[in-house]
């Protein structure tokens, strides 16, 4: 019904920048929130950033606040995550998600659809 595809991951040096994209296709609600999560090997999937249907409200995990910026383009049906000042601890598979609600959420259980993920590796 809803398909999400992440792209833009790769290998970068510490202090560098990377921009992730999440393309949404298929049938969706008119108003839906979106979010970015990440998962490192042996770790649980954790919240990174979220955005409401209009892009007017955002929320960030403390670990990325001030370094990452979430945005969305509803005409292109695409969400973005601009990542600056990257650290080795940012290394993980990054997932985008959609929830059938206008607002954002920080828990994985509150999202309805997920992408397959894109690998981000930050070297020292």
| H helix or E strand, kind and range, residue 34 | strand 33-39
Per-residue pLDDT at 103: 87
Higher pLDDT, 26 or 5: 5
Cα–Cα dist 98/2, whole Å: 9
Tens of pLDDT, residues 16-71:
999 999 999 987 666 889 999 999 999 999 999 999 999 999 999 999 999 999 99
Q: Quick one: tokens of 86?
A: 């990257």
113-97-27 Cα angle (round to 5): 50
Residue with tokens 């959609």: 98
Higher pLDDT, 27 or 119: 119
CA-to-CA separations, 43 to 56, 73, 89, in angstroms, rounded: 31, 31, 12
Per-residue pLDDT at 47: 98
106-17-8 Cα angle (round to 5): 70
- Secondary structure percentages of the chain, helix, strand, coil, to 5: 5, 50, 45
Stretch 96-124: mean pLDDT: 95
Per-residue pLDDT at 29: 67
Tens of pLDDT, residues 67-107:
999 999 988 999 999 999 999 999 999 999 999 888 889 99
Per-residue pLDDT at 102: 85
Q: How big is the chain by its Cα radius of gyration, in Å? A: 13
């Amino acid at each position: 019904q809803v398909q999400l595809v992440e792209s833009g991951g790769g290998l970068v040096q510490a202090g560098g920048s990377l921009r992730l994209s999440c393309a949404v296709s298929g049938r969706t609600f008119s108003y839906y929130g979106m979010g970015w999560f990440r998962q490192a090997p042996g770790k649980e999937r954790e919240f990174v950033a979220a955005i409401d249907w209009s892009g007017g409200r955002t929320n960030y995990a403390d670990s990325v606040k001030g370094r990452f910026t979430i945005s969305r383009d509803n005409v292109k049906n695409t969400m973005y995550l601009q990542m600056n000042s990257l650290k080795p601890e940012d290394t993980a598979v990054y997932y985008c998600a959609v929830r059938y609600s206008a607002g954002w959420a920080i828990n994985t259980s509150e999202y309805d659809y997920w992408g397959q993920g894109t690998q981000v590796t930050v070297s020292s």
